[in-house]
Structure 1
Amino acid sequence: MKINRIILENFKCFENEEFELSAPYTLIIGANGKGKTAILDAIAVGISALLSEVSEPDSLRSLKDRDVRLKLYKKGRNIDIQPQYPASVSCEGIFAEQEINWTQSLADTGNKPRTDKTIKTLSQNLNKMISNGQNSLLPLIVYYGTDRLWIPNQNQTKENQDENNSVKESRTKGYENCFRPGSNITWLTDWLRKEEKEALESGKRSDALEVVTSAVAKCMEDEDWQTITYDLNKSEVLAEAKDGRLLPLGVLSDGVRNMLAMVADMAYRAAMLNPHLGKDAAKETPGIVLIDEIDLHLHPSWQRGVVEALHRTFPNIQFIATTHSPFIIQSLRLGDLINLDNEKNLQYYNRSIEDIVALIMGIDVPHKGQRFLRMEADAEKYSQLIEEAKNAKTFDPEKLRKIEDQLNELEAQLKMRYSDDAAYHAFLRMNRRAALSAQEVAK
């Protein structure tokens, strides 16, 4: 499954726009407020229609009144804000090796969204195959927003964990909360605990557990972290480092914890959706994964490799993500870039970070820090006053006194502004004395 094109009408900040989407990666960049997240939201609305007959309604993301573009009209001193209907999200893509296109639309305030019969029929057929126990290939569909903190529930006790030991095993479990997966950490923890307990009792790990731990190991093979496990004695998820250290997931940095948990969540869902694929579920499962700010909390060294790492772990997934990171743009050789700030098709793979920031992202890149540039500008202003003082000393003593007052005032300001740099102040005073005393000698 993949989406090739999405067409938006009156969706959030977009009046009429269409975007081409590539596989395996499409990266969306642009200034805040340009619509990066809005595109992901629109894709979520589109692909949610495929799950309408498969997943619980609470897990779906339909087109709502709050998604409709607002237009402002000035009425004297007042502003009249009006939603612009109709609003729609149209998709073109491939499902089960067939080209399909469908639309979800909203005609007016308070109306229910309408979805094309084409996608409804596909969803009904999918549900029928699941109900009949067929080994149909279900696509992984999940949307990771910027609120994905993945904080384990510290209040969960052994007693209520044991009460929750019965975890629903339907294949459609893989779609639960798929458009707000940050809440999944509790039942992902429950599942890991159950699997580790059964593995201990039977002496054999299940294929699903192997899928999750292997996926984490594969994605993290270039980093310090190896995989995750559940400690039955401590009743918590642990992250295993390559040097053998075991640390609770909750004490790790946000970047490490989010990446470990996100990969584990994807692998878990793939294993739930396609149990017939066994240990190859992560490798063979197709689908679409949306990630808002893929660089969230990641160190720059990790940002360089996150695109490749996710692709090698889930090679049949179409990833569509947003970012502000030039390091991720630089590493993107597998897909395409949607630049909401710049319509020009500029090469970005393997360009220097400076070129990407300046040419692709449209940001001026000084080669010196802002503080250093301010110090240079202040020193230049100080030097200009010295030159004026030199000239005034010969021709206009009254002006000289005023300029020296300005120099004294500027020196006092600079001492407060750059109080930690004694050498800077000494250099300025030395230049002042040298310039004015040299003029005295010349006389």
Structure 2
Amino acid sequence: MSQQNLPLKQNNQTFMLSIQSFYSQIERAKPAARRLLWLVTLTLTQPVPFWLLKKVWAGEVESSPLESLLQELTELELLQSEGGEQVVYRFEPKVRESCLVWMDEHPAEKDQIEKIYGQWYATSATHPLINAPSEDVFFDKTHPQSLPSAIKQIAIANYQGIIKTSITAIPVDSQWLFLTGENGFGKTAILQAIAIGLLGKQDNNRILTDEDCQISIELKHLGDNQITHLGEPHKTHFVAYGSSRLQIQNQSAQNEISEKSTTTYSLFNPDGILLNIEYALLLWYLTKNPKYELVKATLLKLLPSMADIQIKHNSEVVYIEKEQKDSNEVYQSLPFEKLAAGYKSIIAMIGDMLIRFYQQHPVIIEPKELTGIVLIDELDLHFHPKLQRRWPLLLSDVFPKVQFIASTHSVIPLLAAPENSVFFKVTRNKAAGIQLEQIKIDIKNLLPNSLLTSPLFDLEGADIKPNAIS
């Protein structure tokens, strides 16, 4: 069939021309390769790992070997393979559209694939929960200015205990989105769902979920309204942290991202290992890179009781604590592993964040210019109440162009929440599952007791009195 007579049932000529080349390549493929392409593009969420294809394709005993068919589709440029710990396959959106056109024009082959792979075809298609961009909402209507990357809507279905929940009209000038909720109610699940919505079901070939979930997120990104569904298309820079964030890569692993050091690993697993900022500091110091002084100043700003960070013998990073906050007296220098858990948590997480954002923004030097979205589970963990209260403000000062989405069990970080913060409560019941509810509350000048008895924490007045536990 010639391209001039290509039976595309579309009215838009531009669209027709854009998929003609893929359609002709599909025509050239062997029947078994076409069946495999349909399976990959129409029934499985990409990227598709080789091990999953091997499992699904096991019944095709009379066709060519799976490896040769994948090679054929790759050579036809209908699929792209990516190496790593697990080989995965990706495809252009127009390949899926071309397959749909082909199936409509070849009903016999369409019936064959639906008969063989109907269980996959029927259940694996994605259904975006957000179909159209929404109007921008601002806290400051007199000077409306969005963050470079800001979440506007979140819609989640069929993930863990979340049956279906959504939030709309999130102001695009809000730098902090706080999640509260009781233990086991689903705060971590909400953060994980947001990560999957932004990145997809895999992170560096590591499967994040095999559930048939649907997660859509609308973003304001560099001035444009963009909708991403299960990480497609991938539009923004982001990093994510779970409650375990004390461990950094050791010397033997610091040159590579190990399996436990992917962008989202610590949010989904308790044994995450963060990227080693000390190796980066040493490298910047020895090469006289301006990032050394900038990152050192950033860490010291976030560690008010730290007098200095030094490079010892050109080979070791050490930390020098003040005797008192405003004192010139200092303690003996210590290596990272001997610091208190609160300090280790800050250095490990902020160091990892800086490394990842620098990788995502290779031309940026000044940390204040970095942009993106950061997810943090249990923001208050390991911190004294004084630092809990200052922590959101410190992060806002150091990263003014980054949006933070954080869960907390403590009222204290909320006492000095930055202006224009948004507050959500996570609830759960058997009928509705996990729900995300926005709590519109002015927390300015509220005392801890007032916050504890507010809808964010739901304590009764009697619950905060002495001997209240019955």
- TM-score band (shorter)? 0.5 to 0.7
Q: Which residue of 1 aligns with 2:43?
A: none
Deviation at 1:152, TM superposition (A): 6.7
Q: Which residue of 1 aligns with 2:220?
A: 94
Residue 240 (structure 1) aligned with residue 320 (structure 2): yes
Contact 1:211/1:271 (<8 A) preserved: no
Contact 2:245/2:348 (<8 A) preserved: no
SS at match of 1:250: helix
Q: Which residue of 2 aligns with 1:46?
A: 197
Contact 2:245/2:274 (<8 A) preserved: no
Distance 2:422 2:342 in 1: 25
Q: Which residue of 2 aligns with 1:179?
A: 264
Distance 1:183 1:4 in 2: 29
Q: Which residue of 1 aligns with 2:295?
A: 212
Q: Which residue of 1 aligns with 2:425?
A: 339
Q: Which residue of 1 aligns with 2:356?
A: 269
Pairs within 5 Å for 1:8-47? 8-20=156-168, 21-22=170-171, 23-47=174-198
Q: Which residue of 2 aligns with 1:254?
A: 341
Contact 1:255/1:298 (<8 A) preserved: yes
Q: CA 1:319/1:226 → structure 2, altered by over 3 Å: closer, same or farther?
A: farther
Gaps of 5+ in 2: 1-148, 323-327, 428-436
How does the TM-score come out when normalised to structure 1?
A: 0.59
Correspondence for 1:327 among 401, 412, 416: 412
Distance 2:222 2:205 in 1: 23
Residue 231 (structure 1) aligned with residue 312 (structure 2): yes
Deviation at 1:44, TM superposition (A): 0.6
Mean alpha-carbon deviation: is it higher for 181-190 or for 298-307? Answer: 181-190
Superposed CA deviations along residues 152-197 of structure 1, whole A, max 9, x for unmatched, are 74xx5xxx69xx7xx47xxx99x9621136755564333333333x
Deviation at 1:344, TM superposition (A): 5.2
Superposed CA deviations along residues 380-439 of structure 1, whole A, max 9, x for unmatched, are xxxxxxxxxxxxxxxxxxxxxxxxxxxxxxxxxxxxxxxxxxxxxxxxxxxxxxxxxxxx
Q: CA 1:89/1:152 → structure 2, altered by over 3 Å: closer, same or farther?
A: closer
Which amino acid in the other structure matches residue 299 of structure 1?
A: H
Contact 1:140/1:285 (<8 A) preserved: no
Q: CA 1:228/1:290 → structure 2, altered by over 3 Å: closer, same or farther?
A: farther
Contact 1:357/1:363 (<8 A) preserved: yes
Contact 2:248/2:348 (<8 A) preserved: no
Residue 142 (structure 1) aligned with residue 227 (structure 2): no
Deviation at 1:219, TM superposition (A): 2.5
Distance 1:315 1:45 in 2: 25
Q: CA 1:344/1:219 → structure 2, altered by over 3 Å: closer, same or farther?
A: closer
Q: CA 1:351/1:6 → structure 2, altered by over 3 Å: closer, same or farther?
A: same
Residue 318 (structure 1) aligned with residue 444 (structure 2): no
Q: Which residue of 1 aligns with 2:19?
A: none
Contact 1:92/1:102 (<8 A) preserved: yes
Deviation at 1:284, TM superposition (A): 0.8
Distance 2:353 2:451 in 1: 30
Deviating above 6 A after TM superposition, structure 1's stretches of 4 or more consecutive aligned residues are none
Pairs within 5 Å for 1:125-140? 140=237
Deviation at 1:151, TM superposition (A): 5.6
Q: Which residue of 2 aligns with 1:191?
A: 280
How does the TM-score come out when normalised to structure 2?
A: 0.56
Q: CA 1:87/1:338 → structure 2, altered by over 3 Å: closer, same or farther?
A: same
Distance 2:371 2:343 in 1: 25
Distance 2:247 2:208 in 1: 25
Which amino acid in the other structure matches residue 10 of structure 1?
A: N
Superposed CA deviations along residues 256-276 of structure 1, whole A, max 9, x for unmatched, are 210122222222333333232
Distance 2:440 2:279 in 1: 47
Q: CA 1:271/1:343 → structure 2, altered by over 3 Å: closer, same or farther?
A: closer
Which amino acid in the other structure matches residue 219 of structure 2?
A: G
SS at match of 1:305: helix
Contact 1:193/1:232 (<8 A) preserved: no
Which amino acid in the other structure matches residue 152 of structure 2?
A: N
Contact 1:211/1:267 (<8 A) preserved: no
Contact 1:141/1:287 (<8 A) preserved: yes
Gaps of 5+ in 1: 66-85, 105-114, 123-138, 200-204, 378-443
Correspondence for 1:354 among 443, 449, 452: 449
Distance 1:345 1:25 in 2: 14
Q: Which has the higher contact order (CA 8 A, sep 6+)?
A: 1
Superposed CA deviations along residues 336-385 of structure 1, whole A, max 9, x for unmatched, are 10022576533323211011111231113556532xx79xx9xxxxxxxx
Deviation at 1:326, TM superposition (A): 0.7
Q: Which residue of 2 aligns with 1:432?
A: none
SS at match of 1:275: coil
Q: CA 1:151/1:180 → structure 2, altered by over 3 Å: closer, same or farther?
A: same
SS at match of 1:276: coil
Contact 1:291/1:322 (<8 A) preserved: yes
Q: Which residue of 2 aligns with 1:364?
A: 460
Contact 1:143/1:179 (<8 A) preserved: yes
